[in-house]
Amino acid sequence: MFDQLKERGFEIEFRSHAKAILSIDFPEVAEQLEGVLLSSTIPIEEIIGSGGGETKGTQRLRRALAAHEWRKHNFVVQRIIDGVEREAQSHEIDHVKTFEAGTIALEIEWNNKDPFFDRDLENFKRLHADGGISLGVIVTRGASLQSSIRELVRRFADERSVDSHEDMKRIGLNPTARQIRDVMKRVSREINPIPFRNAWADQFVSDKFGMATTHWSKLQDRVQRGVGNPCPLVLIGLPSSIVTFGESQTEVQKLLDEGSD
């Protein structure tokens, strides 16, 4: 199961018999998810241009899931005594699909603050306990992508000859006054100054993809201490290979347009 994703470097982890549940009750889910993820790419220009926010690539991933009828859904759990509602809780999930065997919920956490994992896992736990879902899926940045993000950003700077904030503006980036100040402080210091490209890559990654954001190790921290248990879970980490370089500007613009539609 998910063999092609594993070959591409995706991290796959199953929790609480999720693999058996998928293979027996929901074989079409694995096929759908694998097809959608295998066709997903994120040009480096999107990561830089988005400022670390949700890229058009992740928006296209959402649209691809929607094409398979994975829809946003707000679950409402009510407690009623003698016809009187005593309590109601709602749980909004971005991607939900119901099959003959049951319902599956999926969340994509590209680059939120890491407490969003607690929210997702607790929502899955409650919905599973109440019979609302059979299984939960979380897609996030994998370990290889998180560990190489600075290298990818530095490669972008090398290929675009980014050696000053004027060069950044030339390629459409608009750093804030604080970002300019932080970078130039390291570039112009008397002791151990560093090249602009290094300082900018460090600052960009620290600002946008720091350890306190949603990525594989933060998700692992939660599930290993039992958050979301005993809801069956499928955890998927996006690899560094999903980031592309050297695509033609026409193709990149096409992808950007697709994400904006």
CATH number for 83: 3.40.91.20
**Which pLDDT band holds residue 28 (cuts at 50, 70, 90)?**
very high
128 lies in some domain: yes
**Which pLDDT band holds residue 77 (cuts at 50, 70, 90)?**
confident
**Which pLDDT band holds residue 223 (cuts at 50, 70, 90)?**
very high
Task: Note the pLDDT of residue 81.
Answer: 83
Task: Note the pLDDT of residue 182.
Answer: 93
191 lies in some domain: no
Structural domains in the chain (count): 1
169 lies in some domain: no
Task: Note the pLDDT of residue 121.
Answer: 97
46 versus 2: which is more confidently predicted? 2
Average pLDDT of 195-207? Answer: 94
- Is the pLDDT assigned to residue 4 strictly greater than 90? yes
User: Which residues are bridge partners to 168 per DSSP?
Assistant: none
Cβ 117 vs Cβ 219: under 8 Å: yes
Give Cβ neighbours of residue 258 (< 8 Å, ≥ 6 apart).
Answer: 56, 60, 63
96 lies in some domain: yes
CA–CA distance, 141 with 2 (Å, rounded to integer):
17
- Is the pLDDT assigned to residue 259 strictly greater than 60? no
Q: Where are the beta strands (DSSP E) in the chain?
A: 11-15, 42-43, 71-81, 84-99, 102-109, 135-141, 233-238, 243-244
Long-range contacts formed by 61-64: CB under 8 A, 24+ apart: 61/36, 61/37, 61/108, 61/139, 62/94, 62/95, 62/108, 63/258, 63/259, 63/261, 64/36, 64/39, 64/40
Cβ 59 vs Cβ 259: under 8 Å: yes
168 lies in some domain: no
Cβ 162 vs Cβ 171: under 8 Å: yes
204 lies in some domain: yes
Task: Note the pLDDT of residue 88.
Answer: 76
The backbone torsions φ and ψ at residue 247, rounded to the nearest 5 degrees and listed phi first, read -70, 150
Task: Note the pLDDT of residue 257.
Answer: 61
Task: Note the pLDDT of residue 174.
Answer: 86
Write out the residue range of the structural domain in which residue 246 sits: 3-160+198-260
Q: Which of 172, 174, 148 is nearest to 160 (CA)?
A: 172
